[in-house]
A = this chain, B = another copy of it.
Amino acid sequence: MKGRPLSDKPIRVTVWGENRHEKLEEQVAKIYPDGMHTTIAEGIVANLGDRVRVRTATLDDPEHGLTEEILADTDVLTWWGHAAHAEVADEVVERVHRHVLSGLGLVVLHSGHWSKIFGKLMGTSCTLRWRSAHDRELVWTVNPTHPIARGIPHPMIIEEDEMYGEFFDIPAPDELVFISSFSGGEVFRSGCTFRRGHGKIFYFKPGDQDYPVYHHEGVRKVISNAVQWCVTDQPTRSLPTLLRYETNDFYRGHGYQGPLENQA
């Protein structure tokens, strides 16, 4: 957005990576010797420079690296997970969920579609059809004025990636930004925005661990655009709350004591 004040502080980004395939599978380690999260983080810095302050966190960190303190110090969280979705502690999922509804931005990448946090925010199964068979993926922009599509080729060509196909069981996105096609003929709503509570969410499909997708310049640019878009416009992080308001008092709500007690 043009015309912003010059005093803006850097966006605080936490790149979360499951970091298991890289340890267990040689071919993934070759593509991402320092872990996928490191490559993703580098792509954001390469695009946004000192407009961001990026850190990484992984599944095996204490509390998966997503403590209350870290989340409170994060404007936008990016999420890549796959083999170990089930190992993410429910308590951490609750915490991230609460932060998203309170204003944390969330960029969900590729197989993160089946993460606990994405499912919890969407309310659906988030299932799809898939095939890892070296399909070429073409990413087409269907919302050319969206900030997340800024500077992205139309189409953007990814030489090889996993196929994800419809039906993708998500709520109809607030904004559909990208649709992908695959060599095999499948299509996928591959760039979708969602607003939930005070938080902004972007799902972006590319990025199977078996292909060097996060080294792709355009993919890195989309993620960087999404990081910028996902910053909430709320001045402070606050969870939407149920409050009673008296007639003609629009600004001072008071707490809820339970439906039956309240009326007694």
Question: Which A residues fall within an 8 A CB radius of B?
Answer: 1-6, 8-11, 20-21, 24-25, 48, 51-52, 75, 82-83, 101, 103, 111, 114, 120-125, 127-133, 135-136, 138, 140-147, 149-151, 153-155, 157, 163, 165-169, 171-172, 174-176, 179-181, 183-187, 189, 194-200, 210, 227-229, 231-235, 239-248, 250-251, 253, 258-260, 263
Across the interface, name the chain B residue whose C-beta is closest to A139.
B187
B144 close to A198 (CB less than 8 A): yes
The docked-state distance in angstroms from the alpha carbon of A233 to that of B149 is: 8
From the candidates B3, B121, B189, B231, name the one contacting A3 in the complex (CB within 8 A): B231
B101 close to A228 (CB less than 8 A): no
B234 close to A144 (CB less than 8 A): yes
A130 close to B168 (CB less than 8 A): no
Q: This chain: how many copies in the complex?
A: 4
Query: Other CB < 8 Å A-B pairs besides A3-B228, A125-B197, A179-B187, 7 of them?
Result: A1-B228, A3-B231, A114-B242, A145-B198, A145-B200, A179-B179, A184-B248
With A25-B263, A175-B172: A6-B6 Cβ-Cβ less than 8 Å: yes
The docked-state distance in angstroms from the alpha carbon of A151 to that of B236 is: 11
B2 close to A130 (CB less than 8 A): no
From the candidates B101, B122, B147, name the one contacting A233 in the complex (CB within 8 A): B147
From the candidates B133, B172, B199, B235, name the one contacting A143 in the complex (CB within 8 A): B172
CB distance from A105 to the nearest CB of B (A): 9
With A1-B231, A48-B3: A141-B166 Cβ-Cβ less than 8 Å: yes
B2 close to A244 (CB less than 8 A): no
